């Protein structure tokens, strides 16, 4: 299995769900990690963003293009 690297910080739940859906539809391997922590009631999401997207380095360019399109819409 390829090493995953941090591709970007996701801004919110809607963006995370939409990007997850698009990447899954295109069979692009990825992982999404939320910063939400129930002990701090989501405090870190306000400071750091909603969460992070991880994927193989060789797919970074393609994924960033998809994210750019999603953020423009």
Enclosing domain of residue 11: 4-72
Confidence (pTM): 0.81
Cα distance between residue 17 and residue 6, in whole Å = 17
- The tens digit of pLDDT for each residue in 39-68 reads 555 555 555 678 899 999 999 999 999 999
Please provide the DSSP assignment of 37-51 as one string: -GGGTTHHHHHH-SE
Cα separations in angstroms, 32 against 18, 53, 54: 12, 5, 6
Average pLDDT, the chain: 86
Number of domains observed in the structure of the chain: 1
């Amino acid at each position: 299995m390829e090493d995953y690297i941090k591709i970007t910080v996701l801004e919110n739940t809607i963006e995370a769900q939409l990007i997850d859906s698009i990447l899954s539809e295109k069979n692009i391997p990825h992982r999404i990690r939320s910063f939400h922590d129930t002990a701090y009631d989501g405090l870190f999401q306000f400071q750091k963003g909603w969460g992070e997207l991880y994927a193989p380095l060789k797919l970074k360019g393609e994924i960033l293009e998809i994210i750019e399109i999603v953020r423009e819409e």
